[in-house]
Amino acid sequence: MRNYGQLKLELICKGLVVPDEVRGVSEIIGGYCDGRPGDEIVLSLTDNFIVKVPIKETGQDKPTLKLFKGQVKLRCMGKEVDVNIVPLPNFVREQMKKRSPISENSCIDGYCMNLFLRAVGQKNRLNLTLETILSAVKAAFEEGAADLIQFNMDYCREPDRGLTRLAPVVQAIKKEFSTFIALRGFPPTDKQTLDKVYAAGIDLLNLPLEGFVGFPKKEDAISQPLVYGALEYAAKIFPAGTVWTELFLESGSIEALKDKIDYLTEKGILPLLKLVPPNIVTEEYYLHVIEAARYLEKSVQNAQFPLKWLFPHCRYMSPLDTRFFIDPPNKAKLNAKPVYKSLLGRKTLEGYTKLRRKLRIKDVSDSYESAGL
């Protein structure tokens, strides 16, 4: 094993076997719902470097959990590796047993709670009620399972892509809890919708260039120029380092990927690279991954982005964790300390974001008035 990044790719590619002889170990039981193939388990390979892995049937050469002298270890790539199993939060486990709406529309990714929302019915109401969302957020925070919230808004045919429907939800959460809120969604046809999104209290914005699939009809597909335009507009509204997009990191040449990374960072947009390994993680593929990690890191450094807004992801490479794909295990660490893990840092940034948002809203309001709108 060259480094933790290679191990992460191997696990994403092959999944994880949990043999019957270790299935009853309390540490392992705490990491999943039922432990059957198809279930998932989150492993912490080292501090702040995590991966979500599907549980597989027993198979040759698959990563496997083993018990060595009472300690759980991962057998992978011919070696035994120390790993920690991230416990499944109790509130998630309870909701999954009930098969409640929140169990099917939420997950924890590192210390981020993801809520998956969509507009349903003739009136395009959100699939989760405000009360359900507030209850889930409260449970996650009280258990210490999450430090921030991310709304993942599914495709909506309305010109605003349903984003303005989130405003009362965001405002209610901000009123009840001291937290940052991220939004992952589709670009609106009217860029000024993003002014409203920021004014409502969204702190972080992710509009993926690659990754969203499954549009209702072919004509609903979002064009890349629309996404680029929305990203560039958002980068002028939101604080530096808080506007992101997603690109695929696949096998093959990464020259086109490099061009996209350069263009985005020059425009004030942080790229996240979704890890899409081939069926077999070859040496050639991993050399491409290392090259991409080095290039992403250099491009972001040249643009002088603050990285404190980023957080660890289970299935992505971000400018925050490139070193885990480059350095040996004994040297790898995050490129910055996320603000969510510093109480003082959070308080300081909360004050800054509130003041900046008020000033931004005033500036927009003044410009409308001067234009006679």
**Range 140-159 average pLDDT:** 92
Q: What percent of the chain has pLDDT over 70?
A: 94
Closest by Cα among 202, 180, 183, 210 to 316: 210
Question: Considering the chain, what is the average pLDDT of its residues?
Answer: 89
Structure tokens at 120: 């349903």
Tell me the domains of the chain and their CATH numbers. 4-85 (no CATH), 90-344 (3.20.20)
Q: What is the pLDDT of residues 281-312, one digit of tens each?
A: 888 899 999 999 999 999 999 999 999 999 99
- At 369, the pLDDT band (50, 70, 90 cuts) reads very low
The edge-to-edge listing of strands for the beta sheet with 71-76 is 79-82, 71-76, 64-68, 16-17, 49-56, 40-46, 84-85
Q: What is the pLDDT of residues 89-114, one digit of tens each?
A: 888 888 888 888 998 999 999 889 99
**Range 260-286 average pLDDT:** 93
pTM confidence score: 0.91
Taking the C-alpha atoms of residue 10 and residue 69, their distance in angstroms, rounded to an integer, is: 25
Q: What is the pLDDT of residues 223-245, one digit of tens each?
A: 899 999 999 999 999 999 999 99
Residue with the bigger pLDDT between 362 and 372: it is 362
Decide if 182 contacts 112 (C-beta within 8 A).
Answer: yes
Contacts of 79 (CB under 8 A, 6+ apart): 1
Instruction: Give the model's pLDDT for residue 214.
Output: 55
Closest by Cα among 350, 371, 364 to 193: 364
Instruction: Give the model's pLDDT for residue 213.
Output: 61
Decide if 3 contacts 332 (C-beta within 8 A).
Answer: yes
Closest by Cα among 226, 222, 201, 202 to 213: 222
